[in-house]
Amino acid sequence: MVIYLIAVTVFMIQCFIMFFIYLTEKKPPKHDSVVDSKSTVPTDEFFYFILIPCLNEGKVIQNTLQNVLRLPGRKHIFVIDDDSVDDTLIKVNSVSGPISTIKRKLPTAQTGKGDSLNTAMPMIKVYIHRHHLDPNRCIVGVIDADGVLSNNSIDKLNESFSNSRTDAVQLRVKMKAPKKILQIFQDIEFFTINHLTQMFRSYLGAVALCGNGQFFRYSSITQRLGAAPWGNALLEDYELTLRMELNGIRIHYIGNAYVDQEALLSVKKLILQRARWAQGGFNCWKYFKKIFTSRKMSPAQKFDAYFFFFQPILNLLADFSIIYLTAKFIFIHLNNPEFMSVVFIVLAVLGLFFGTMFTLIYLHQLKLHKHIGQIMKSDDMLNFRVKIKKAFLAVGLISYIYIILFFSLLISIYHELIGEQTWNKTNRI
């Protein structure tokens, strides 16, 4: 009971903090336009190296490359192929432009996303030297093979990196044209809930990198983290976050530009994806002592890291408490079904409150952002016209997603206990 009450209290505090962030967040003025939001920093101020790790991405990689090439500014794309067996390389070779392909072959391939990304760093060093580029004005970015950067992303990144103290940046993340209920849930989770979480982390100076849409200044990161900045955790983005914070590197968050990615359509795939992420968090426990003794990490950053470590455990214990308390309640009131029905209805309605609030915030933000030059495709932002039935289903899924993710936590803990660190990649639709 105590664990359950602690978990509920923590959850409610998190939600109310996010509501507060939303209410106090600076909104784009209604009169803003694409022209008004243009950056004053020259487009060619920085040179961008875009890293795209690939494993059997033939269905999406061509579109991703074309979208990156359409963006303004100087750039070079490194496609890191992890021994794909589909037509990924054929699709890459069919696109002309400043693109290089790094081919990894088994048995040294498919050893983790972090390892894959690290193989591009020597190539970037050679490119910088050969073309006499200023390392301080070279930016390394990572997007997934299905990632599409918003139209204003380069402008916003230029504005951020024009500050010489900015060494790393994370873009907002959004799901691509969500239509199904599970897709809409993931869009609400990323575009709204994760966004508000990152905004709060900005106040703490503890913004976390995501696997998609992360950018950093080449000179700063290689000087402090070396030529291979990524680690081997299943959650390589959060491991890089910790490594940056341990070396005094603060990550900035951009909430008015984003990167698109495909949402999952299968509940099974969602469970396995979140299990992999949870286990990746457990992988990062190896930094526990370093975080505790660090003199470069702020108390707020340490608090955020430890909370990240222990939240899955707290959630799992709370889930077991819910199961126990529910079974106990049913057993005690087995002879009073009317009372049980009323209680369950009241609890269900209360449980839908936070899901309703986040859904309303999501719909409002879609309308608010669709006019400031972020849209790649009309259906990407205009899905606020979802039918009432879908809206209700989305509210229910957001409110009770912990029922699904309970299995993710069990799987992640089981894999960690047996030492299983490899995962089958989620196939494209």
pLDDT digits (tens, 9 = 90+) for 295-352: 999 999 999 999 999 988 888 888 888 788 778 878 887 788 788 788 778 877 777 8
Residue 382 has pLDDT above 70, yes or no: no
Range of the domain at 18: 1-429
pLDDT category of residue 36 using cuts at 50, 70 and 90: very low
Residue 360 has pLDDT above 70, yes or no: yes
SS3 391: helix
Secondary element (H or E) of residue 261: strand 251-261
CA distance 93 to 109: 20
Q: Tens of pLDDT along 190-211?
A: 999 999 999 999 999 999 999 8
Query: Number of structural domains, the chain?
Result: 1
pLDDT of residue 392: 66
Upper half-sphere CA count for residue 204 (Cβ side, 13 Å) = 22
Q: Tens of pLDDT along 90-146?
A: 999 999 999 999 999 999 889 889 999 999 999 999 999 999 999 999 999 999 999
pLDDT of residue 34: 46
- Residue scoring higher pLDDT (379 or 364): 364
Residue 371 has pLDDT above 60, yes or no: no
Residue 35 has pLDDT above 50, yes or no: no
Compute the mean pLDDT over every residue in the chain, rounded to the nearest whole number. Answer: 87
pLDDT of residue 201: 95
Evaluate whether 376 touches 151 at the Cβ level (below 8 Å).
yes
Q: What letter does residue 235 receive in the DSSP assignment?
A: S
167 CB neighbour count, 10 Å cutoff: 23
**Upstream peptide bond of 107 is cis (omega within 30 degrees of 0):** yes
**CATH number of the domain that residue 211 is part of:** 3.90.550.10
